[in-house]
Amino acid sequence: MIVCKFGGTSVADGAAIARAAAIVAGKRDRQPVVVVSALGGATNDLLDVAQRAANGNLLVALSIVESLRQRHLTTTATLLDGSPERDDVEAEVSAGLDELAHLAEALSTLGFVTPRSLDSVAAIGELLSSRIVAAAFRHRGLDAEWVDARDVTITDDNFTRAAPDLPRIAAATRERLRPIVQAGRVPVVGGFVGATPSHITTTLGRGGSDYSASLLGAALEAEAIEIWTDVDGMLTADPRLIPTARLIDRIRFDEAAELAAFGAKVLHPSTIAPAVQRGIPVYVFNSRRPEGTGTMITFDAPRYPVRALAGKRDKTLVKLRSARMLLAHGFLGAVFAVFDRHRTSIDVVTTSEVSVSVTLDDASNLEAIVADLSAFGDVSVEQHRGLVAIVGAGLSDGAQTMAQALGALGDIKVHMASLSATGLNFTLVLDDAQVNPALQRLHATFFPEPA
Ligand code: ASP
Ligand code: MG
């Protein structure tokens, strides 16, 4: 059994859904379970409907409802042309959008949104897309069956970020999904959407369809999870900066997590953790180029000194110098408490006997942070800094990688450097303007063009 998850761009319209059907048809003998996102961008529109209705713009909200209706009906008509199911699916789509219009009216009377009402609205995207996809698959000869995500993805009631209830999901997938697969049929489930044990609709949080796929795959003990998206897989660097960036064939979960923290956007590792932790490989494939080999993410892919590079710009560097730090204990705890108090997370840290330097992702509370830190010593702030991260599980296996990295940088000034003791990443703080040149030099060194 495998789980094939199609993201919003892979089910954006009739043509995309037809491609997804062909991909699934080619995997029939592997017993696929299909998880789908809402039609690309639909979730944003749905949340917009809720906000605008609650803010008193009911007419605008209802016009968005109508454009969503048109889009879903056009997609249905394109896919189900000549299908005996077309009328039924169109009626279901219209009923879903009528319900949305009623919710919008209720929210406009209420004048505010609650997390629970937001989930009822947002869930409509996947509930509709999964119905359309199931019918489109059937029309293309796949024996597909729609399964209501709210019957299988059972969660707590932490609306808009609900936590999965693993034992209940395991029981529900056994009862609802396994028999369909065993009968040789293909279940189609909406991602992102869930329900409490008492059947109140919830969602797993934005981007939650990958999480659904991973949860259902783990519960079903699937052989693999396939995430079908609009990129070829994970690359050795951002291809917009490094046109020679290469596809990574295999990557370790912890390396993928580091890259995501540095802004790689393919998928959020926490959402695939339930599967990877159970030893289930997660693949990323491009639904526009299904012949590609993709990226395989596992716990124990081979160790390489350098697997990928990532960069981030527009960072603030804060330096604190204090003689009081010398031989004192508890000092760092007190310093970090300042950042905690101002809800600011730190990217990179270095310390010496008399100084601490950190970079901040978000400098919106900078003034207050500097004021509080000044109680400990001299504080200085440097803006326009950037980070370059060299990621690889085998980074410190040998002695040469660090020397190669610093050698490649040449005359680029390094303000700060941090080598994680876990050997996963070597992070350099540079001038903002040097991030791209540094990435280019490092990429040429660690991923040379084949001669
Ligand atoms: N449709 C949801 C979102 O846009 C979930 C997903 O696509 O993963 O956040
Ligand atoms: Mg996504």
> What pLDDT sits at residue 321?
94
The answer to whether residues 344 and 210 belong to one domain is no
> What pLDDT sits at residue 331?
85
**Would 297 be classed as within a structural domain?**
no
Structural domain harbouring 321:
308-446
Establish whether residue 437 lines the binding site of ligand 1, counting it when its CB lies within 6 angstroms of any ligand atom.
Answer: no
Quick one: average pLDDT of 361-383?
94
The answer to whether residues 216 and 361 belong to one domain is no
Last residue of one domain, picked from the residues 174, 200, 230: 230
Quick one: average pLDDT of 146-171?
98
Last residue of one domain, picked from the residues 230, 265, 280: 230
The answer to whether residues 177 and 90 belong to one domain is yes
> Alpha-carbon torsion 304, 308, 313, 315, what sign?
negative
**Could you tell me which residue, 315 or 324, shows the higher pLDDT?**
315
- The contacts of residue 451 (CB under 8 Å, 6+ apart) are none
The answer to whether residues 159 and 25 belong to one domain is yes
The answer to whether residues 151 and 40 belong to one domain is yes
The answer to whether residues 331 and 213 belong to one domain is no
Ligand nearest to the CA of 212: 1
Query: Over 90: is that where the pLDDT of 398 sits?
Result: no
Half-sphere exposure of 335 (CA within 13 A, CB side): 26
Ligand nearest to the CA of 230: 2
Confidence of residue 438 (pLDDT cuts 50, 70, 90): very high
The answer to whether residues 226 and 314 belong to one domain is no
- The contacts of residue 125 (CB under 8 Å, 6+ apart) are 37, 38, 39, 42, 43, 46, 190, 192
The mean-pLDDT minimum among 25-29, 57-61, 147-151, 259-263 falls in 259-263
The mean-pLDDT minimum among 10-24, 45-59, 190-204, 270-284 falls in 270-284
The Cα 153–Cα 176 span in angstroms is: 11
Q: Which atom of ligand 1 is nearest the CA belonging to 208?
A: 8
> By C-alpha distance, which of 380, 36, 415, 373 is closest to 188?
36
The Cα 107–Cα 47 span in angstroms is: 12
Name the average pLDDT for the chain: 95
> What pLDDT sits at residue 327?
64
Query: Over 90: is that where the pLDDT of 121 sits?
Result: yes
Q: What is the CATH number of the domain that holds 426?
A: 3.30.2130.10
Please tell me whether residue 169 adopts helix, strand or coil conformation.
helix
The number of distinct structural domains making up the chain is 2
The answer to whether residues 319 and 221 belong to one domain is no
**Would 112 be classed as within a structural domain?**
yes
Could you report the per-residue pLDDT of 273-300, keeping only the tens digit for each? 999 989 999 999 999 999 999 999 999 8
The answer to whether residues 215 and 71 belong to one domain is yes
Establish whether residue 190 lines the binding site of ligand 1, counting it when its CB lies within 6 angstroms of any ligand atom.
Answer: no
Quick one: average pLDDT of 1-14?
96
The answer to whether residues 103 and 215 belong to one domain is yes
The answer to whether residues 96 and 214 belong to one domain is yes
Q: How far is the CA of 234 from the centre of ligand 2 (A)?
A: 14
Q: How far is the CA of 119 from the centre of ligand 1 (A)?
A: 12
> By C-alpha distance, which of 7, 2, 37 is closest to 287?
7
Query: Over 80: is that where the pLDDT of 113 sits?
Result: yes
Using CA positions, which residue lies closest to atom 5 of ligand 1?
A: 207
> Alpha-carbon torsion 428, 434, 439, 442, what sign?
negative
**Would 215 be classed as within a structural domain?**
yes
Establish whether residue 288 lines the binding site of ligand 1, counting it when its CB lies within 6 angstroms of any ligand atom.
Answer: no
Q: Which atom of ligand 1 is nearest the CA belonging to 44?
A: 4
**Would 101 be classed as within a structural domain?**
yes
> What pLDDT sits at residue 262?
81
Confidence of residue 324 (pLDDT cuts 50, 70, 90): confident
Q: How far is the CA of 8 from the centre of ligand 2 (A)?
A: 7
> What pLDDT sits at residue 150?
98
**Would 134 be classed as within a structural domain?**
yes
> What pLDDT sits at residue 172?
98
* Structure tokens given for 32: 């696929």
Quick one: average pLDDT of 83-91?
97
Quick one: average pLDDT of 389-398?
92
What's phi and psi for 318, nearest 5 deg? -115, 125
Q: Which of 192, 214, 227 gets mutated to test ligand 1 (max ligand atoms within 8 A of its CB)?
A: 192
Quick one: average pLDDT of 182-211?
97
Confidence of residue 266 (pLDDT cuts 50, 70, 90): confident
Last residue of one domain, picked from the residues 199, 215, 230: 230
Ligand nearest to the CA of 228: 2
Q: What is the CATH number of the domain that holds 221?
A: 3.40.1160.10
Quick one: average pLDDT of 206-215?
96
Confidence of residue 326 (pLDDT cuts 50, 70, 90): low
**Would 61 be classed as within a structural domain?**
yes
> What pLDDT sits at residue 226?
97
- The contacts of residue 262 (CB under 8 Å, 6+ apart) are 310, 311, 312, 387, 389, 391
**Would 264 be classed as within a structural domain?**
no
**Would 423 be classed as within a structural domain?**
yes
* Structure tokens given for 223: 């052989």
Ligand nearest to the CA of 37: 1
What residues have a C-beta under 5 A from ligand 2, the ion? 7, 207
